């Protein structure tokens, strides 16, 4: 007898039909619900498979929790019964085939359709603090309704409620080895991100006709586990950037590097739009913020240095002797590159205080082809001032006048300039680019 009616009279409403599948821990049969007049699937779990009473209690709690779930991509648990030796989980029966059997006939465009529905189911589960822990092609049913593919997650026997686990971390080593995340294989604490790892493996299966990114024929449990621990991929993911990025962000060795189910649904590979460079995970956001702050710190250092240069420059300017442009009151001055070009201005000259006029002659003689001042590199005071007069009569006029006498003082220089300007009449004076002059002590 499949049913133990003596221990659970409620099971009398179900008429067993045939065995749908059998696993290491449970058997699934097809039955007819006499009361609802519909076909159902009943999962029968042997209690002797559990090592302790705590595990039996976990199954009871899971069955109660799963009865509250309502999602189109999740198998609906209608009822739960228990006898002395067995658990009975009644579910709605779905006419379809597993993804494992569907992969050989899978079309390329269907991969995203199936993945999107799996993600919607996982998002719903995770929001209800439930982790499936056994995502694999055998536990994904594919059916067709009105010409559209319908994906249904089944087999929640290994699922766990995060609410019942301290700090949201689980330790039980469960699930199928080929779809177990690295932290599960290492028997470390893990979270709901183990479902995302398994999803990434399933997507890889669909893209590469059932192939596994790590496992190869002949691998033992030890060699496969070693591949996972060293994260040794069998082959490169020869896909477009969006597909490759999705796989990298789901089959990620560290849990914090994996996307959540909701983030996966927003990924450009799923939506067909967006930028893969946008940070999704917490780790990516932190790294982005660090890089952003490093750039800001770099700019701040540059600004601080520029401010320092301005302060030093102003300090030097405040301690440097001033030299103003000289000319007669009637001179027309055109300032090249300025908005005040062609305007008339009045200029006067202030005495240039220097210890020896001979030094200025010496500096000029060292650079007779330039109108700029050049000085000895040993001098440490530099000032940027407008070039005095670029042209008054002849280009070398000012030099010749200054060389006439080493003893000529600024007042005499001023008088000579006025006399020459009076004789020749108004002259146009062009002020060229600013130059540098050394202050002589």
From the list 33, 134, 155, 383, the catalytic residue is 134
Token pair of 135 as six digits: 């995502």
Residue 134 among the catalytic residues: yes
Nearest to 139 by CA among 236, 39, 267, 26: 26
Nearest to 387 by CA among 326, 341, 332, 330: 326
The answer to whether the annotation marks 43 as part of a ligand binding site is yes
Q: Are 236 and 223 in contact (CB under 8 A)?
A: no
**Tokens 């189109």 — which residue?**
72
What's the order of all strands across the beta sheet hosting 77-82? 14-22, 26-33, 38-46, 86-92, 77-82
**Tokens 């991929």 — which residue?**
233
Token pair of 429 as six digits: 């004076």
Burial of 112 (0-12, 13-18, 19+ CB in 10 A): middle
Dihedral Cα 9, 11, 16, 19, nearest 10 deg: -120
> How far from 416 is each of 254, 327, 410, 422, 426, CA to CA, in Å?
85, 11, 10, 10, 15
Cα 121 to chain centroid, rounded? 26
> How far from 288 is each of 170, 277, 278, CA to CA, in Å?
30, 10, 9
Token pair of 154 as six digits: 């089944």
Cα 412 to chain centroid, rounded? 72
Looking only at the bridges linking them, the beta strands covering 86-92 and 77-82 are antiparallel
> How far from 270 is each of 109, 385, 411, CA to CA, in Å?
11, 64, 85
Question: Which residues sit in the known binding site?
Answer: 43
Catalytic residues: 134
């Amino acid at each position: 007898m499949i049913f133990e009616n003596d221990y659970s009279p409620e099971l009398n409403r179900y008429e067993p039909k045939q065995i749908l599948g059998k696993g290491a821990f449970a058997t699934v049969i097809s039955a007819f619900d006499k009361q609802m007049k519909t076909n159902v699937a009943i999962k029968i779990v042997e209690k002797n498979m559990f090592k302790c009473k705590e595990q039996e209690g976990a199954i009871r709690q899971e069955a109660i929790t799963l009865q509250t779930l309502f999602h189109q991509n999740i198998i609906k648990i209608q009822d739960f019964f228990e006898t002395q030796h067995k658990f009975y989980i009644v579910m709605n029966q779905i006419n379809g085939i597993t993804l494992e059997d569907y992969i050989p006939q899978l079309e390329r465009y269907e991969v995203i359709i199936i993945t999107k529905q799996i993600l919607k189911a996982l998002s719903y589960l995770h929001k209800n603090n439930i982790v499936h822990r056994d995502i694999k092609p055998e536990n994904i049913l594919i059916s067709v309704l009105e010409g559209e593919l319908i994906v249904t997650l089944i087999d929640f026997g290994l699922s766990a409620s995060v609410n019942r686990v301290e700090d949201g971390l689980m330790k039980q080593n469960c699930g199928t080895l080929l779809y177990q995340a690295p932290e599960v294989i290492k028997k470390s604490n893990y979270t709901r991100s183990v479902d995302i790892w398994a999803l990434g493996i399933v997507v890889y299966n669909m893209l590469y006709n059932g192939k596994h990114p790590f496992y190869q024929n002949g691998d033992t449990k030890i060699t496969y586990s070693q591949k996972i621990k060293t994260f040794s991929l069998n082959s490169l993911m020869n896909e477009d950037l969006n597909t490759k990025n999705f796989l990298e962000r789901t089959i990620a060795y560290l849990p914090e590097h994996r996307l959540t189910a909701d983030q996966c649904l927003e990924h450009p590979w799923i939506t067909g739009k967006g930028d893969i460079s946008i940070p999704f995970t917490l780790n990516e956001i932190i790294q982005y913020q660090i890089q952003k702050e490093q750039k800001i710190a770099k700019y701040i250092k540059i600004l601080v240095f520029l401010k320092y240069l301005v302060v030093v420059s102003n300090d030097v300017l405040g301690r440097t002797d001033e030299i103003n442009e000289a000319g007669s009151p009637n001179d027309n001055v055109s300032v090249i590159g300025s908005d005040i070009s062609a305007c008339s201005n009045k200029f006067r000259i202030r005495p240039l205080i220097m210890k020896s006029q001979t030094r200025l002659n010496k500096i000029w003689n060292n650079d007779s082809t330039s109108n700029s001042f050049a000085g000895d590199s040993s001098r440490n005071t530099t000032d940027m001032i407008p070039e005095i007069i670029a042209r008054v009569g002849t280009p070398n006029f000012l030099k010749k006048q200054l060389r006439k006498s080493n003893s000529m003082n600024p007042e005499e220089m001023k008088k000579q300039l006025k006399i020459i300007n009076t004789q020749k009449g108004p002259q146009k004076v062009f002020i060229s680019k600013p130059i540098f002059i050394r202050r002589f002590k």
